[in-house]
Structure 1
Amino acid sequence: MGRHKQPEIRDRILDACVDHALTHGLPHRLEPFVTASGTSARMLIYHFGSRDALLRETLGRARRRQRDFFGELVAPRPGEPYPSTLRRAWQVMTGPSGRPYLTMFGRLREDAEQQLWPDFRRESTTDWLQPLEDGMRSVGRPELATLVLAVVRGLIMDIETTGDVPRADRAFDDFLAALVPVSDKTPAEPPEDR
């Protein structure tokens, strides 16, 4: 009688592979995942079927983690202006805790063949529209979700290409300032008579 697969072991192995991939990138061979999960290549194949199946599941779980993490960041908060929520979300996304996701999925987006996740480019765009639309609805402008997403994605690509985080941060702050309706801005002091 053969062994029965144990889902909790498979789940633990997959989490270890995701942790490794977020830190070091997707490996080309199974050995880094063997070391990270504390198991053997034979057990990885037993639980996942093939190297590519393991890589696909690793990417899928990492993406779910990212959606949960980033989704919570961009969710509107009672009593907080949504541009402030976006500013905080941007700082976390592009900071140390968010960068592993941006790096992993940036590389996947650049992969011309898209063999591991054929529809990733489309999904990685559309899955953020609803959370951003919900946030922008809180300021009465849900239709601007696409613009917000385009700016975020463009500046993230800029950071990945140039490494110039301060410039991207300034650009994002300028963008947020443009989102604040004129009625929400504090009126300027009238000029003094000379």
Structure 2
Amino acid sequence: MGRQRQPLIAERLLDECTDYALEHGLPDRLEPLVRATGTSARMLLYHFDTRDGLLRAILRQARKHQLDAFGDLLRVRPDEEYTVTLARAWTAMTGPDGQPYLRMFGQLREDAEQHLWPGFRRIATTDWLGPLEDGLRTIGRPESATLVLAVIRGLLMDLDATGDTTRTDRAFHDLLIALEHAPGDERTAATRAIPRQQRDRREQYPER
């Protein structure tokens, strides 16, 4: 009779593999994950059946973490204008805590076959529409959720390709002003939030 699998061990191995993949990228071989966990390829395959089975588990675990983190950033805060919430979310998503997820899932979106996660591109889009609609409804703009999401996705691709945080931050700032219909030179919540966060980003990452 075969040995029973131990869920706690599998969970620990998956956490360690996920941490490695978020820091270094999703590997196409088992060896980097073997070194990261200090176990053997045989043990990883024992718990996850195949290499692709382990990679799928890593992607789903990382996606769960991303949904929790980014979902919290996008949630409505009763005492805060939603454009300010979006400004903070953008800074966090494109900062050091958010970048590992953007790299991993950008890599997955570029996989034309998507054999590890069929339909991921669609899921990765529709996941965020609900939270954005809820938030934008508080400023009377729920119908703008698709537009806002499209701009965010486009700017993230731009940032990944160019590393130009100043230009992409400014473009997101312009989107927030448009959402608020800022009249003339009036400084709205959006116009106050982004320049301050751009300054903080420059102070934290002066080399950019």
Q: Which amino acid aligns with 2:58?
A: T
Structure 2 residue 163 is the aligned partner of structure 1 residue 160:
no
Moved more, 49-58 or 172-181: 172-181
What residue in structure 1 maps to residue 175 of structure 2? Answer: 175
Q: Which amino acid aligns with 1:126?
A: T
Shift of 1:139: 1.0
Distance across 2 between alignment mates of 1:149 and 1:122 = 13
Give the alignment of 1:18-33 within 5 angstroms.
18-33=18-33
Q: Which amino acid aligns with 2:56?
A: R
Structure 2 residue 117 is the aligned partner of structure 1 residue 84:
no
Shift of 1:181: 3.6
Q: Which amino acid aligns with 1:81?
A: E
Distance across 2 between alignment mates of 1:138 and 1:5 = 48
1:25-53: CA deviation from partner (whole Å, max 9, x where unpaired) = 01111011111122110010000000001
Shift of 1:186: 4.0
Structure 2 residue 142 is the aligned partner of structure 1 residue 135:
no
**Contact 2:17 / 2:58 at 8 angstroms: preserved in 1?**
yes
Q: Which amino acid aligns with 1:26?
A: L
Distance across 2 between alignment mates of 1:108 and 1:182 = 38
Distance across 1 between alignment mates of 2:181 and 2:168 = 22
Give the alignment of 1:103-114 within 5 angstroms.
103-114=103-114
Distance across 1 between alignment mates of 2:186 and 2:24 = 46
Distance across 2 between alignment mates of 1:156 and 1:39 = 36
Distance across 1 between alignment mates of 2:2 and 2:53 = 22
Shift of 1:8: 0.9
What residue in structure 2 maps to residue 47 of structure 1? Answer: 47
Distance across 2 between alignment mates of 1:104 and 1:41 = 22
Shift of 1:182: 4.7
Give runs of ≥4 in structure 1 deviating > 6 Å: none
Structure 2 residue 70 is the aligned partner of structure 1 residue 70:
yes
What residue in structure 1 maps to residue 125 of structure 2? Answer: 125
Distance across 2 between alignment mates of 1:46 and 1:33 = 14
Distance across 1 between alignment mates of 2:64 and 2:15 = 12
**Contact 2:141 / 2:179 at 8 angstroms: preserved in 1?**
no
CA RMSD of aligned residues (A): 1.4
Q: TM-score, normalised by structure 1?
A: 0.92
Q: TM-score, normalised by structure 2?
A: 0.86
Distance across 1 between alignment mates of 2:25 and 2:14 = 14
Percent identity over the alignment is 63
Q: Which amino acid aligns with 2:32?
A: P
How many matched pairs? 186
Distance across 2 between alignment mates of 1:27 and 1:182 = 46
Consecutive unaligned residues in structure 2, runs of 5 or more: 188-208
Moved more, 174-183 or 21-30: 174-183
Consecutive unaligned residues in structure 1, runs of 5 or more: 188-194
